[in-house]
Amino acid sequence: MERFLGSMNVILSDQFLWILGLMILVLLGLALFFAAFTFLLRLRTEKEARIWAGLKESWEPTLLEALTDPSRLNALWRKVGEKDHLHFLEFLLRYAQRLGGTERDTLRKAAEPYLPEILPLLKHRRIGTRARGVQTLGTLGLPGFADEIRDAINDPSPFVAAIAARLLAHEVGAEVASDLCLSLARFDKFRIWYLVDMVAAMGPDASPAIRETLEDPEMPVRTRAVAAHALSVLRDLASADPAARLTLKETDPEFLAALLRLLSQVGTPKHAPAARAHLDSEEFFVRSAATRTLAELGNEDDLPFLVERLSDPSTWVKMAAARGVYRLGGKATHAALTQEDPANPFFRQVLAEEAGK
Amino acid sequence: MTELFWGFVFFFNGLVILYFLVLNGFYLGTSAFAFGALRRYALRLKTLDLERFMRTGGAPPITLISPAFNEEATMEEAVRSLLSLNYPDYEVLVCNDGSTDKTLEVMTEAFNLEPVDRVPMGDIPTATVRGVYRSRRYPNLWMIDKENGGKADALNAGINLCRSALFCAMDADTILERDSLLRIVRPFLEDSSTVAAGGIIRVANGCRIRKGIVEEVGLPRNFLARFQVLDYLRAFLSGRMGWDALDSTLIVSGAFGVFDRSLVVKVGGYSTDTVGEDMELVVRLHRHCRETRTPYKIGFVPDPVAWTECPETIKVLGRQRDRWQRGLMESLLKHRVMLLNPRYGRLGLLAYPYFFFLEMIGPMVEGLGYLSFLLTLLAGKASLPYVIAFLSVALALGIVLSISAVCLEELAFRRYPTKKDLILLFLIAALENLGYRQLNTYWRVRGTISGLRGKGGWGVMTRKGFG
């Protein structure tokens, strides 16, 4: 023990104290460095804000004039200094994100001379910079720079690629439908509704290409599910027959649910058997989709199927069945069932929903 | 015998030094990771086009679940603020958890609530739900009236009635910024395996708030609240951002977090037998997904902001920190199988041991360390210069870490607008090491002891309100 205490004394010798002293100095230096860096950041931000405010003050009145009278664009361009081209695009972008129609066209025209300067940014090593480049070019430079934005769909970062795809869908539309549908597999990590919204944004003219994707067995099943949901959003009547056919041979539950949902939107009574065939699916969301579809497409003969679903283990299916019973059987059937089971909360909720309509 | 005693004391002092080095090593490490991550994130933020996102859809519906207990004074304003959020499709579900004041009456009157039927879609056991109400004026506002069962129970009742794929758990007195939902939903869109995401919590004391909206950000006048501003910056920007960069987020704050409803229902909802239900749920989600080999992601998003009122008295703050420590302890002990278990990957080998040894046991080591150092010094067994030098290193490290958190804030968000605010924050970074930090250690030791003794409960949280 004495040896231990002795060695502790050695450790606590002057040498160790010097090391601690040095550490204190280094740490205080580091603290000062961070504090100074923070201050410099603040000063830089304030300087940038001042520059930005000055530029805005100089450009804004003329831009507002140009939005109503595009001949004023020359006057606006004269105010853009050599070093301010990217700032100017940034300035236009803020307006472009809020405006549409002819005003957006004027903004595109205003940006035209400076857009080539964005191109190097698309190859920048930083993801954020590439993304910003794609966004600026896509918002202010389409359809002129459609090829560059199309290339960006193959960017190594799915984040950049998604911005490009979304811009193409919204700004160019049906023209890029085939390319976009082909690229969907790149976005396998994205939530399906994000992709559905992107595909549906191309509008009804894109439906044939989306339908082709739906029917293509070579396409990944998730891509086909996206196509089914998008066609459902677009209410593409022509996709009802292929969707019904596919429900008979496809087995992937997510895809099946998407097809059934599509049928509920665009199907006719002749497609009701497709829904009936999946009422007993193992997956609750497929049963739920089938129940809802049957409620849309079926007739009074389907009531027993729906009533059977009222005792499904899933509350989602029960709810869909209760709504379906009300829809197909009308108030009378519903009232009779309610009388049989007055405490059934599903019936009570359906009645409340109907009353609220 | 005496020699043995002093041998033990020296050994313990060594242990304290080791703890101190490892803890601060972790802090510096997460700060470094956070620095890189925030820089990248700040660039990405520039591409976030919220206007377009609002217009074009693709944003999944969200149900906001706000548990309320005796909130008659603040509820109306809080709900009005929630109803004005910038999000295309959301419902607000207030869970009146058996309030003994007039919360229900105030809400009924203010929002014209009427009793309605709404079938629970989940089956998490909760205290009896007495009724469900819906606003005639705001169709997306619902209120559940239930018997008292605690915050976790109220959240579970809300989850049962939630119909959207995502829900947002929050505190009744939290103010969400208008774009916070649009921002927090991003990881869910970009990665469909995301099952939970937390936003940043900021201190509302000192800010100018009108009609549930933070109009002007400022530092609080109260010193205790100022210390907490720095606490939150450090915890979220250095801590959670850093852990997120390591894909090891173990805490999503109960004041603001979005979750995948079906998974939360699958794991049984919030645990009602812990005061740290928020952390426990996140740890359980990790565990479930790892054990069932389900791909998943739990993340932290630094730009969606929820403002909260922090305690301004030592008594209330002490209770809060005591409760946090108990919650941390209960969660970690409940899932101790994850500790140093390679089956749980980086989480089991890095994040869990960090929280277990450094955040859970650490305060005990630190607290006893203060005593043991004092004892060694008083007994003349250690040289005064050495102790002073060591304490100075600790002080300097504390200052470095706090200032680096301010630096991270400046790098990405710059919420505190004046240079005076910055100077004050630097000052606080130095001052907090002289008393506040030790007080925190004391509260956490107290929390650990009461946790070990099995003491439950939340304690009373007194609030001044935002008005």
* pLDDT above 60 (res A3): no
Interface-testing mutation among A126, A188, A193, with chain B (most B C-beta atoms within 10 A): A193
Confidence of residue B131 (pLDDT cuts 50, 70, 90): very high
What value of ipTM does the predicted structure carry? 0.87
Res. B459: pLDDT tops 70 = no
* pLDDT mean over B172-184: 92
Q: pLDDT band at A6, cuts 50/70/90?
A: low
B364 CA: distance to closest CA in chain A (Å): 24
Asked if A38's CB is within 8 angstroms of B406's CB, the reply is: yes
**Measured between alpha carbons, how far is A352 from B136 in angstroms, rounded to an integer?**
13
How much is the pLDDT for A38? 96
Reported as type and span, the H/E element at residue B378 is helix B362-378
Cα–Cα distance list, B334 to B150, B280, B338 (Å): 19, 8, 10
Q: Least CB-CB distance to A31: which of B57, B121, B399?
A: B399
Residue A139's pLDDT is what? 93
CB A89 within 8 A of CB A111: yes
What mean pLDDT is reported for chain A? 90
Contact B58 A194 (CB under 8 A): yes
Nearest neighbour of A97 by CB, restricted to B52, B116, B396: B52
For residue A8, pLDDT beyond 60? no
Looking at residue B213, its pLDDT comes to 87
Q: Which chain B residues are closer than 8 Å to A135 by Cβ?
A: 47, 49
Angstrom distance (rounded) from CA A254 to CA A257? 5
Least-confidence region, from A171-175, B233-237, B380-384: B380-384
Distance from the B172 Cα atom to the nearest Cα atom in chain A, whole angstroms: 27
Residues A104-120 have a mean pLDDT of: 95
pLDDT at A263 over 90: yes
Pairing of strands B297-308, B194-203: parallel
Other residues' Cβ atoms within 10 Å of the Cβ of residue A299: 10
State residue B323 phi and psi, 5-degree precision.
Answer: -65, -45
Contact B239, B404 (CB under 8 A): no
- Provide φ and ψ at B144, rounded to 5°: -105, 130
Banded pLDDT at A154 (limits 50, 70, 90): very high
Nearest CA in chain A to B411: A41
Strand partners, B90: B62
Query: In which residue are the tokens 């203010």 written?
Result: B110
pLDDT of residue B216: 93
Per-residue pLDDT, averaged over A15-37, amounts to 91
User: What band does B409 get if pLDDT is binned at 50, 70 and 90?
Assistant: very high
Instruction: Tell me the average pLDDT across B107-113.
Output: 95
pLDDT of residue A355: 66
Which residue among A8, A132, A319 sits closest to B46, beta carbon to beta carbon? A132
Most B CBs within 10 Å: which of A37, A191, A254, as the mutation test of the B interface? A191
Q: Are B271 and B284 in contact (CB under 8 A)?
A: yes
- Nearest residue to B408 (alpha-carbon basis) of B252, B300, B250, B254: B300
Contacts of residue B220, Cβ cutoff 8 Å, sequence gap at least 6:
B203, B205, B206, B226, B229, B310, B312
CB contact under 8 A, B3 and A5: yes
Q: What is the pLDDT of residue B387?
A: 80
Residue for token pair 């939290």: B174
Contacts of B119 in chain A (CB under 8 A): 315, 318-319, 345-346, 349
Per the CB < 8 Å rule, is A170 touching B52?
yes
Chain segment B254-312, per-residue pLDDT in tens: 999 999 999 999 999 999 999 999 999 999 999 999 999 999 999 999 999 999 999 99
Instruction: Please name the residue of chain B whose CA is at the shortest distance from the CA of residue A162.
Output: B190
Contacts of A39 in chain B (CB under 8 A): 419, 422
pTM attached to this predicted model: 0.91
Chain mean pLDDT for chain B: 91
Taking the C-alpha atoms of residue B375 and residue B275, their distance in angstroms, rounded to an integer, is 35
Is the confidence at residue B55, as pLDDT, over 80?
A: no
Q: Within 10 A of A119 (CB to CB), how many other CB atoms are there?
A: 13
Q: B351: which DSSP letter? A: I
Best to test chain B binding among A34, A104, A196, A314 (most B CBs inside 10 Å): A34
Helix segments in B251-343, DSSP class H: 261-266, 277-291, 314-334
**A99 confidence band (pLDDT: 50, 70, 90):** confident
Closest CA to B260 of B59, B54, B63, B58: B63
Question: Searching chain A, which residue's CA lies closest to the CA of residue B61?
Answer: A193
Residues above pLDDT 70, as percent of chain A: 95
pLDDT at position B219, please?
A: 95
Of A45, A132, A190, the CB nearest to B192: A190
Compute chain A's Rg from CA coordinates: 31
For residue B456, is pLDDT > 70? no
Chain A with chain B: Cβ pairs closer than 8 A: 150
**Phi/psi of residue B454, nearest 5 degrees:** 75, 25
Yes or no, beta carbons of A42 and B7 under 8 Å apart: no
C-alpha Rg value of chain B to the nearest Å:
23
pLDDT of residue A335: 74
Winning range, highest mean pLDDT, from A303-307, B228-232, B363-367, B370-374: B228-232
Contact A189 B123 (CB under 8 A): no
CA distances B243 to A121, A298, B26, B30, B352, Å, are: 30, 53, 10, 6, 11
Position A309 scores a pLDDT of 92
Write the residue in A17, A97, A197 that is nearest to B58 by C-beta.
A197
List CB contacts (< 8 A) between B399 and chain A.
Answer: 27-28, 31
Model confidence band, residue B5 (pLDDT cutoffs 50, 70, 90): confident
CA nearest to A263, candidates A237, A285, A224, A288? A237
Q: Please indicate whether, in this complex, the C-beta atoms of A38 and B188 are within 8 angstroms of each other.
A: no
CA distance B186 to chain A (A): 10
Instruction: Tell me the chain B residues in contact with residue A316 when contact means C-beta distances shorter than 8 Å.
Output: 121
Are A12 and B386 in contact (CB < 8 Å)?
Answer: yes
The angle, 0 to 180 degrees and rounded to 10, between the axes of the packed helices A101-111 and A85-96 is 170
Domains of chain A, first to last: 271-357 (1.25.10.10)
**Burial grade of A314 (CB within 10 A; 0-12, 13-18, 19 or more):** middle
DSSP summary character for residue B7: H
List, in sequence order, the alpha helices (H) in chain A: 2-11, 14-68, 73-78, 85-96, 101-111, 127-140, 146-152, 158-167, 177-183, 192-200, 207-215, 221-234, 240-249, 253-266, 272-276, 284-297, 303-309, 315-340, 345-356
- Name the more confident of A58 and A351: A58
Q: Which pLDDT tens digit goes with each residue over A330-350? A: 777 777 777 777 667 887 787
Interface touch B121/A319, C-beta < 8 Å: yes
Q: Minimal Cα–Cα distance from A165 to chain B, Å?
A: 13
A17, B386: Cβ pair inside 8 Å?
yes
Of B7, B189, B383, the CB nearest to A12: B383
For residue B236, give the nearest of B458, B41, B81 by alpha carbon: B41
Range B168-188 average pLDDT? 93
Mean pLDDT along residues A68-82: 93
Query: Encoding tokens for residue A328?
Result: 């197909």
- How far off is chain B from A270, nearest CA to CA, in Å? 31
B17: how many CB neighbours lie within 10 A of its CB?
Answer: 15
* Residues pairing with B104 in the sheet: none
Among B393, B409, B413, B431, the strongest candidate for a mutation testing the A interface, having the largest count of A CBs within 10 A, is: B393
Q: Are A316 and B121 an interchain contact pair (Cβ–Cβ within 8 Å)?
A: yes
Which residue, among B90, B96, B101, has the nearest Cα to B59 in the 3D structure?
Answer: B90
Min Cα distance B173 → chain A (Å) is 31
> Confidence class of residue B454 from pLDDT cuts 50, 70 and 90?
confident
Taking contacts as CB-CB distances below 8 angstroms, the residues of chain A near B422 are: 38-39, 42
Of B60, B389, B429, the CB nearest to A20: B389
Substitution target in B119, B132, B415 with the highest count of A β-carbons within 10 Å is B119
